[in-house]
Amino acid sequence: MDKLFVVVLFVCFSSTRLISVADGVPVNERAEQGTITANAFYQLGELAVCTTGLNLIEGGLAYNHYGCYCGLGGAGTPLDATDTCCYVHDNCYTHSPCSINVFQYSIPYKKSVSSCGTADATITCKKASDYPWYYGSEKDCAEAICNCDKDLAYCFRETRSTYNEAYRNWSNSKC
Annotated binding site: 69, 71, 73, 90
Q: Give bridge partners of residue 125 from the DSSP assignment.
A: 111
What's the CA gap between 86 and 84, in Å, rounded? 5
Q: Which residues are part of a known binding site for Ca(2+)?
A: 69, 71, 73, 90
From the candidates 2, 140, 149, 151, give the one annotated as an active-site residue: 149
Q: Is 149 a catalytic residue?
A: yes
Q: Is 89 a catalytic residue?
A: yes
Residue count (the chain): 175
What's the CA gap between 29 and 175, in Å, rounded? 18
From the candidates 89, 95, 130, 140, give the one annotated as an active-site residue: 89
What's the CA gap between 128 and 110, in Å, rounded? 10
Positions of E strands within the chain: 111-114, 122-125
In a 13 Å sphere around the CA of 162, the CA atoms on its Cβ side amount to 12
Active-site residue set: 89, 149
